[in-house]
């Protein structure tokens, strides 16, 4: 990770869970990390923790609504002015809403598409343009996907969410191909965790918190640090190595 010291990373959805763990880990490794989310107060607390821990990097909180393109474009413009641009983009933000295909609300489907697919694509595009402008040829875009991007569970509440994650799988490979055609050495990787103990399931089952709690108690889940470690592993790979996708499950997870 030495070559990333002092360089700039963007982590979306950095206020809680996987995003917060990734942001903290990159700061620990000496990077300047712009952590964005709607709840910027949580990132400010995390930034203070990083300072108190004596980490060599810096966490810069930025308030951004990833369902609004103008918010994202303003964020990239601000990063350009304040920090020249970004070298690493971690597309972590995502959400699951219980909206089945036969009875779900269109508004819920749109919200998932806006954050899980459109925001990820906008941030990937703008990250590439930032790298290209500054002739950065060793940058990295990492999409936090999920096992739902590789199989369909027998759970109606997850079917539309699963479609957005299949989109992430396709977008990651499409981006890899376009980067190769552009004759650049910028890399793109998808990380696909199985069941991780985060707030996502509690939000998914907000009307039934007992169901969420039971899900996490059923097996020993992945922890957010496991995904942060996978990000560090990907970034630590030699520049000639393209890691396409990391699929990781709890040992006890069947599907």
Tokens 């020249």 sit at which residue?
84
Give this prediction's pTM.
Answer: 0.96
- Which class is 2-245 in CATH? alpha beta
Residues recognised as catalytic: 161
Residue 97 CA to residue 157 CA, distance in Å, equals 7
Residue 90, strand partner residues: 11, 142
Residues 6+ apart with CB under 8 A from 163: none
pLDDT (tens, 9 = 90+) of the chain, 255 residues, equals 999 999 999 999 999 999 999 999 999 999 999 999 999 999 999 999 999 999 999 999 999 999 999 999 999 999 999 999 999 999 999 999 999 999 999 999 999 999 999 999 999 999 999 999 999 999 999 999 999 999 999 999 999 999 999 999 999 999 999 999 999 999 999 999 999 988 777 778 777 778 778 878 889 999 999 999 999 999 999 999 999 999 999 999 998
- Taking Cα atoms as reference points, which of 113, 127, 128 lies closest to residue 168? 113
């Amino acid at each position: 990770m030495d070559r990333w010291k002092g360089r700039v990373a963007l982590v979306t959805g950095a206020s809680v869970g996987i995003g917060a763990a990734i942001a903290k880990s990159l700061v620990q490794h000496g990077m300047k990390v712009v952590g964005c989310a709607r709840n910027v107060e949580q990132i400010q607390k995390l930034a203070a923790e990083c300072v108190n821990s004596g980490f060599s990097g810096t966490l810069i909180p930025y308030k951004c609504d990833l369902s609004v393109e103008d918010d994202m474009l303003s964020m990239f413009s601000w990063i350009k002015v304040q920090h020249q641009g970004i070298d690493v983009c971690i597309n972590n933000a995502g959400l699951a809403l219980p909206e089945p295909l036969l009875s779900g609300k269109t508004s819920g489907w749109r919200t998932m598409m806006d954050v899980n697919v459109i925001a990820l694509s906008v941030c990937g595009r703008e990250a590439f343009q930032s790298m290209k402008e500054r002739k950065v040829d060793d940058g990295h875009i990492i999409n936090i996907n999920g096992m739902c991007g590789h199989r369909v569970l027998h759970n109606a509440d997850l079917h539309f969410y699963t479609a957005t994650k299949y989109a992430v799988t396709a977008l990651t490979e499409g981006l890899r191909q376009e980067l190769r055609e552009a004759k650049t050495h910028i890399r793109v990787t998808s990380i696909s965790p199985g069941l991780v103990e985060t707030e996502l399931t509690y939000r998914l089952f907000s009307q039934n918190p007992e169901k969420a709690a039971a899900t996490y108690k059923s097996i020993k889940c992945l922890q957010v640090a496991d995904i942060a470690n996978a990000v560090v592993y990907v970034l630590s790979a030699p520049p000639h190595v393209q890691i396409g996708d990391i699929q990781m499950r709890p040992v006890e997870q069947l599907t």
